[in-house]
């Protein structure tokens, strides 16, 4: 099933089995040109379902909680809610969005390590009790504004620390102090959460993270907390191979640290895993110029016959629009040239070096 999804409204079409993504884009280009909208997104809703089936087959014992911030399109929330996923919300707007789609409050995690008081109160008012916490400052806010809160303590991982300079999560010593403070304040702690980035290639990160999680569970038991939820976070890129790799590693560790008889519920926070393959962004090339560089990549005033041709393409979208993720990480979009029938014969398909530029920093890519 493929369709068109636009914000704030979306249109869903059931298409014939032979219809390809390129056919959908080609048919929509003319409509968008008439409406003077030259950037649009095509979604394959069937991909969401296929990813969920793959998850269920690979990790049936781990319940997925979708990270709304990955893609908050209404159609995504509708489909994933119908499949019974839980949801991870980072703010009041996301909580309201998910609740409006009939998701029960006990299937929502309010994440974010620094929440506004008004957002915490909104969660309390709507029965969203499962919150993430990694500091005593945040704990005091929650204790003051949400007396029925059930906390997941966020434990830092060395893989997460290596990816960003920002501090997220508690060290083991910090977890001990946080648990003691929660006991003093009468706040219930029900589990542990951590995050291993999808960019981390060393699966030993899960060994360290789950070992630390086990230590925090033991600390909690010493202080009288009945901890029963383990959240292994996100870090799922979307590929079946990577999912199976993670599962192979995690399954053995869970058997050792959190066996089935322990009664611990294991959950995860896949985000881009569900949506990265389901959405295709269509943009226009609005300009092009030849860049003179020699074979060593050095700029030149003129292009000589011995130089490899390189082009600079200008797109009508950029990092201040649909490519904003480029500002936050090293993700490189995978472009594909789509030629409409009006392009006419004679256009070259020879592959050359090129650079794509939108409203922001340039991206080097292969092109033509």
pLDDT at 57 (0 to 100):
95
Q: Which residues have a Cβ under 8 Å from the Cβ of 112 and sit 6 or more positions away?
A: 90, 91, 132
67 three-class SS? strand
Take residue 272 and report the two structure tokens written for it: 């881009």
Which candidate, 183, 91, 187, 96, places its Cα nearest to that of 148? 187
Question: pLDDT tens digits for 272-318?
Answer: 899 988 888 888 888 888 776 655 656 566 666 666 667 788 888 88
pLDDT at 62 (0 to 100):
96
Distances (CA, A) of 12 to 35, 52, 75, 277: 18, 20, 9, 17
Does residue 204 contact residue 250 with C-beta atoms inside 8 Å? no
pLDDT at 158 (0 to 100):
63
CB 287: neighbour CB atoms within 10 A? 11
End-to-end alpha carbon distance in the chain:
31
Does residue 154 contact residue 132 with C-beta atoms inside 8 Å? yes
Place of tokens 């309390």: 124
pLDDT at 349 (0 to 100):
44
**Mean per-residue pLDDT for 210-228?**
97
pLDDT at 366 (0 to 100):
35
Does residue 88 contact residue 63 with C-beta atoms inside 8 Å? no
More confident: 316 or 328 = 316
Question: pLDDT tens digits for 50-108?
Answer: 999 999 999 999 999 999 999 999 999 999 999 999 999 999 999 999 999 999 999 99
Which candidate, 109, 57, 111, 45, places its Cα nearest to that of 82? 45
CB 315: neighbour CB atoms within 10 A? 22
**Mean per-residue pLDDT for 341-352?**
44
- Total length of the chain: 368
**Domains in the chain, start-ordered, CATH in brackets?**
1-43 (no CATH), 45-275 (3.20.20.10), 284-368 (no CATH)
pLDDT higher than threshold 60 for residue 6: no
Side by side, the strands of the sheet bearing 352-357 are 285-291, 310-315, 352-357, 362-367
């Amino acid at each position: 099933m493929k369709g068109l999804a636009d914000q704030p409204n979306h249109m869903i079409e059931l298409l014939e089995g032979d219809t390809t993504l390129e056919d959908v884009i080609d048919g929509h280009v003319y409509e968008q040109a008439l409406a003077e909208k030259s950037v649009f997104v095509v979604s394959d809703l069937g991909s969401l379902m296929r990813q969920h089936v793959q998850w269920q087959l690979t990790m049936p014992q781990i319940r997925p909680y979708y990270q709304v911030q990955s893609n908050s399109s209404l159609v995504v929330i509708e489909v994933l809610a119908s499949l019974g996923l839980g949801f991870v919300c980072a703010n009041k707007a996301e909580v309201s969005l998910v609740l409006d789609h009939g998701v029960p409050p006990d299937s929502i995690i309010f994440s974010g390590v620094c929440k506004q008081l008004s957002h915490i109160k909104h969660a309390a008012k709507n029965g969203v009790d499962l919150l993430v916490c990694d500091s005593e400052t945040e704990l005091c806010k929650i204790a003051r504004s949400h007396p029925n809160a059930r906390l997941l303590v966020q434990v830092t991982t060395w893989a997460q620390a290596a990816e960003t300079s920002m501090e997220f999560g508690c060290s083991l010593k910090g977890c001990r102090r946080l648990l003691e403070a929660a006991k003093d304040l009468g706040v219930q702690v029900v589990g542990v959460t951590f995050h291993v980035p999808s960019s981390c290639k060393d699966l030993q990160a899960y060994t360290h993270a789950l070992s630390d999680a086990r230590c925090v569970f033991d600390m909690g038991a010493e202080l009288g907390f009945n901890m029963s939820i383990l959240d292994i976070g996100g870090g799922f890129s979307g590929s079946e191979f990577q999912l199976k790799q993670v599962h192979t590693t995690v399954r053995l560790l869970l058997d050792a640290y959190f066996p089935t008889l322990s009664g611990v519920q294991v959950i995860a926070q896949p985000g881009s895993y569900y949506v990265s393959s389901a959405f295709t962004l269509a943009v226009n090339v609005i300009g092009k110029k030849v860049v003179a560089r020699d074979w060593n990549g050095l700029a030149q005033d003129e292009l000589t016959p011995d130089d490899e041709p390189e082009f600079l393409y200008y797109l009508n979208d950029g990092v201040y629009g649909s490519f904003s993720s480029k500002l936050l990480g090293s993700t490189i979009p995978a472009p594909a040239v789509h030629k409409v029938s009006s392009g006419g014969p004679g256009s070259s398909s020879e592959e050359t070096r090129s650079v794509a530029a939108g409203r922001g920093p340039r991206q080097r890519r292969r092109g033509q």
